Amino acid sequence: MFMGYSLGELGSIFAMQAFAGLILFSVFVLMALGLAIIFGQMGVINMAHGEFMILGAYMTYMTSHIFQTYIPGAYPVYFFVAMAVAFIVSGAAGLATEWLLIRHLYARPLDTLLATWGLSLIMQQAFRSIFGAREVGVELPQWMMGALPVTDVIEVQINGLFVMGLTLIITGAVALLLYRSRWGLQVRAVVANRTMSGAAGIDTRRVDRLTFGLGCGIAGIAGSAFTMIGSTGPTAGQLYIVDTFLVVVFGGAQSLLGTIFSAFTISQSQSTLEFFLTGSMAKVLTLLLVIGLLMLRPQGLFVLKVRR
């Protein structure tokens, strides 16, 4: 059999790796969601997106710390409070960034890329100065620990399931916002034709600012989820930006469904490959695969064909 594993073993391996991949998938989706709505609407790549995620992670860490110290009785629910805090703080930071930096750089996408990279350096150093260079982790509340046995060889981590559920809810909420709310309508109008939307009385500047804030806020929530599967350090976010961007591009920058699908594909292939190869080689293969696919379909997988 393949590499000395029996068929049944292979099945279990794939199932286990698939679940492991689903947690990575959750972080990818949340990160990519924020990056995609920003990129889709403004053509801006926020290179500091990973740092906004880590900002959310630090907020989660602080919230858990406060709960532990002052209201230990309420600790089981700290995560929900932490999520809200992460969303608000990262979102507010995003709004401020848009106002101070991004709005001066419209129509200069490459320069925005460099400027937000500079922002990411500043944020990293700020994290280091405030929270220290050491990585921090949060303690999971009791109910999230442990694993559910599915069969006698396959187990599923509860916190992983929880993060996934959370991701689905947030994705659904964003979809609702985009396709049912007034803001969503305005966003879609601006994406389709910025000049016309402006002429039709949409305050495109305001829509941009809200979009940027929302995208960063979602990154903050991704940070909350991140604390459950990894430890938080000043530079942890930097590792995610390239992957996340590839997820966005691969899915086609303006397609929500495409983003989710490509996050799934990339996280699953990485996770499955990881079992057979070393982690780093799996990463290399995944990246090369995505680059190769992008050459075949430069506009991404899910893109409407329109007259330019």
Partner 1 sequence: MSNSTDFLLALEGVTVSFDGFKAVNDLNLYIDKGELRVIIGPNGAGKTTVLDLICGRTRVSGGSIKFKDQEITGLKEHEIVRRGIGRKFQTPSIYEDLTVFENLELSIPRGRNVVGALFWQRSEEVVERVHQIAKMIFLFDFLSRSAETLSHGQKQWLEIGMLLIQDPELLMLDEPVAGMSVSERAKTAELLNEIIKHRSVIVIEHDMKFVESIAHRVTVLHQGKILAEGDMDTIQHDPKVKEVYLGH
Partner 2 sequence: MWNPTNKKLDLELVGFALIALLILVVLPLSVDAFRLNLVGKYLTYAFVAVGLVLCWGYTGILSLGQGVFFGLGGYCMAMFLKLEASSVANTKIQSTPGIPDFMDWNQLTELPFFWVPFKSLPFALFAVIAVPAIAAFILSFAMFKRRVGGVYFAIITQAVAAVLTILIIGRQGYTGGINGITDLRTLLGWDIRTDGAKYILYFVCCVLLLGSMFLARFVLSSKLGRLLVAIRDKEDRVRFSGYSVGDFKIFIFCLASAIAAVGGAMFSLQVGFMSPSFVGIVPSIEMVIFCAVGGRHSLVGAVIGTLIVNWAKTSFSETFPELWLFAMGGLFIAVVLAFPRGLAGLFTDQILPLIKRVGMRTGALPKPAPAE
7 near partner 1, rule: CB under 8 A: no
Q: Are 218 and 34 in contact (CB under 8 A)?
A: yes
When binding is defined by CB under 8 A, the residue of 148, 192, 242, 257 that contacts partner 2 is 242
Quote the least distance from Cβ 5 to partner 2, whole Å. Answer: 23
Could you say which DSSP state residue 136 is in?
B
| Residue located via tokens 């990160």 | 31
Pairwise CA distance, residues 89 & 34, whole Å: 15
Q: Are 69 and 211 in contact (CB under 8 A)?
A: no
| Binding segment (CB under 8 A) for partner 2, from list 70-78, 84-92, 219-227, 240-248 | 240-248
129 near partner 2, rule: CB under 8 A: yes
Give, as ranges, the residues between 245 and 304 that touch partner 1 (CB under 8 A). 304
238 near partner 2, rule: CB under 8 A: yes
The contacts of residue 268 (CB under 8 Å, 6+ apart) are 18, 21, 25
| Binding segment (CB under 8 A) for partner 2, from list 54-62, 181-189, 215-223, 286-294 | 286-294
Quote the least distance from Cβ 100 to partner 2, whole Å. Answer: 9
Pairwise CA distance, residues 229 & 249, whole Å: 25
270 binds, options partner 2, partner 1, none, Cβ within 5 to 8 A by partner type: none
Pairwise CA distance, residues 258 & 134, whole Å: 37
Element (H, E) at 58: helix 49-70
Considering beta carbons, is residue 182 or 307 the nearer one to partner 1? 307
156 near partner 2, rule: CB under 8 A: no
Chain residues in the site for partner 1 (CB under 8 A): 304-307
